Amino acid sequence: MSELERIRIEGYNQELIHHRNILFPGFTNDLLKIKTMKLRPDDTFIIGYPKSGTTWTEEIVWLVENNLDYDKSLKTSHFERVLFLDKEPIIKIDQLPAPRVLKSHLPLEYLPDDIAKFCKVIYIMRNPKDVLVSYFSFVKWLKDLEFSGTLEDIVEHFSKNKILYGDWCDHVNKYFSNPDVLFICYEDLLEKQMETVKKIVEFLGKKKTDEEIEKLIEFTSFHKMKTNKSFGMIPKDWNEFIDKFDFKLFFRKGQIGNWVSHFTEKMSDFVDEIVKQKINPKIKVRYLPLKES
């Protein structure tokens, strides 16, 4: 792979990493070493484009993998239980005890070849208009990025690959096309909860009763996660990029269709056109709650 470079993009406070026409946050560690990291058959990777519901999926998966240990979920930092592959040094990832549950936003081509054949990969997709609104709120607040532009600028960046982790359609299409990846949607996780969580449990090769799944859904509901203090337990070495961390900002609205309150018609049409041109037509993107669509 070609060399990484650090570049400035208008609106961002910090340098970003640029590699093969894709931008990554400045904190990204060991980006090109991830491809050759040592996988273990009991690894589970939770992957999503930023702001697609990755943290939510991670919590569900971690609980399923850890015998529904609600007590530990409340008492141990989420970010120590589920390591952020993109940020942590590979040496630290290598030393984690099994089974590892790892989070990433990386495009598929940055992960080891055949990763989904060798271990479990779950990908969560969310409609890009809600992603963009959530992304905008996040990059404005994150100390490392402090984006000073507008939502309209972010929508424009979306079309020009000036957004972190690359082109949304490419990201989604590649994971969707890999038959070994479990591909789920944020909108289904919110509105077809039982069915979607059952898919996750089955994919992980576990057995849970309906009652256990109902409790899991309740425990990982938006309002419960927002008050789970383990999301406020930030590892010490994260302070460099998260200042005055209010973990509730991580859980902003948790809705389908919040974009309607932020997008102009022009912005909405613009995103529709890009998605129409590039998305794999087999992928159904849902922009509104079921009753409104």
Positions that interact with ligand PPS (CB under 6 A): 48, 50-56, 130, 134, 137, 190, 220-222, 225, 251-254, 258
d(CA 66, CA 71): 11
The residue type at 203? F
Residue type, 7: I
Q: Reply yes or no on whether 105 is catalytic.
A: yes
Task: Tell the smallest beta-carbon distance from residue 82 to ligand PPS (Å).
Answer: 10
| HSE toward the beta carbon, residue 21, CA cutoff 13 A | 6
63 and 69 in contact (C-beta within 8 Å)? yes
54 φ, ψ (degrees, to nearest 5):
-65, -45
Output 14 or 221, the one with its CB closest to ligand PPS: 221
Beta bridge partners of residue 183, listed in sequence order: 123
| Whether residue 289 has a cis bond before it, omega within 30° of 0 | no
Beta-ladder partners of 101: 44
Q: Which of 18, 19, 78, 105 is catalytic?
A: 105
Q: Given the complex with ligand PPS, which of 189 and 275 has the nearer CB atom?
A: 189
Whole-number Å distance between alpha carbons of 229 and 251: 12
Q: How far is the CB of 41 from ligand PPS (least distance, A)?
A: 25
Residue 38 or 244: the one with the smaller Cβ distance to ligand PPS is: 244
- How far is 192 from 135, CA to CA, in rounded Å? 24
Q: What is the smallest separation between the CB atom of 190 and ligand PPS, expressed in angstroms?
A: 6
The DSSP element (H or E) to which 125 belongs, if any, is: strand 120-125
Over its C-alpha atoms, the chain yields an Rg (Å, rounded) of: 18
Find the shortest distance in angstroms from Cβ 135 to ligand PPS: 8
Distance of CA 190 to the CA centre of its chain: 15
Pick the closer one to ligand PPS by CB: 48 or 120: 48
Of 190 and 216, nearer to ligand PPS (C-beta) is 190
Residue 215 Cβ, how far from ligand PPS at the closest point, in Å? Answer: 14
Q: Any idea which residues carry the catalytic annotation? A: 105
